[in-house]
Amino acid sequence: MRVDVITIFPAMFASPFAESIIRRARDRGVLDLRLHDLRDYCTDRHRVVDDYPYGGGAGMVMRPEPAWRAIHAARDGARRGAVLLTTPQGERFTQKMARELAACEQLVFFCGHYEGVDERVRALVDREVSIGDYVLTGGELPAMVIVDAVVRLLPGVLGSADSLAEESFGPLLEYPHFTRPAEFEGMAVPDVLLSGHHRKIAEWRRCQALRRTLRRRPDLLAQAELTAAERDLVERWRTGADEAD
């Protein structure tokens, strides 16, 4: 996959894109990542990327000319792809969207800044994306988050153990994890995990996952495929006075 990022802060991407999974994807040639400094697409001497809003008001607007030139320079028409604008007005990013984007041959990110981008730039944009309802300082971190979520889905990026984990990614939260030592700061690992009884361990984990999901993310339980017995269990927890987890 080719990923182009258009930004006024290209240096922000150096470390996140040079470590861990993204680095491995680049080293293996699965990811061809290209950073574009928006200011390089200015034609004025001072490389100005923002201007005052027509109609007045607070804040600045990203000028259309450098944005337009940068997107045209980045987009490779021979590849099936999408131009994404990171903006608080965008559609909420989800794992489903990550899977859709992972099917593209190219993604071009235009990282929003200031109060926003001149509306006419949207003629070149396929999707506007937000990563959630909190206020960040710009669209760079959201672009990194999206690239991270998409690239790990590309074939050949994760090891086989991680890929298996991806396949089993369900609508439930994960069960609690433990490693050695069996007792730590007075806290013991649950006996069942030391028992070697695989069926009981699987049952315990499923039960813990259900319980956690009910307590922390009841919205997820609605979509989960549960057995009749599991539904009963959840119903008893819901109506009973169980300890929070």
Task: Bin 125: left if φ > 0, else alpha if -120 < ψ < 50, else beta.
Answer: beta
CB 165 within 8 A of CB 159: no
If the CB atoms of residues 87 and 106 are measured against ligand 9D3, the closer one turns out to be 87
3 state SS of 40: helix
Q: In whole angstroms, give the CA distance from residue 82 to residue 104.
A: 7
C-alpha triplet 25, 110, 80: angle, nearest 5°: 60
Q: Which of residues 137-156 bind ligand 9D3 (CB under 6 A)?
A: 137-139, 142
If the CB atoms of residues 20 and 89 are measured against ligand 9D3, the closer one turns out to be 89
Q: How far apart are CB 215 and ligand 9D3 at their closest, in Å?
A: 26
Which candidate, 182, 241, 234, places its Cα nearest to that of 208? Answer: 234
Q: Establish if 7 lies at the interface with ligand 9D3 (CB under 6 A).
A: no
Query: Stretches 1-9, 126-134, 147-155, 162-170: which one binds ligand 9D3 (CB under 6 A)?
Result: 126-134
Q: Establish if 119 lies at the interface with ligand 9D3 (CB under 6 A).
A: no
If the CB atoms of residues 70 and 158 are measured against ligand 9D3, the closer one turns out to be 70
Site residues, ligand 9D3 (CB under 6 A): 86-88, 112, 115, 130-132, 134-139, 142
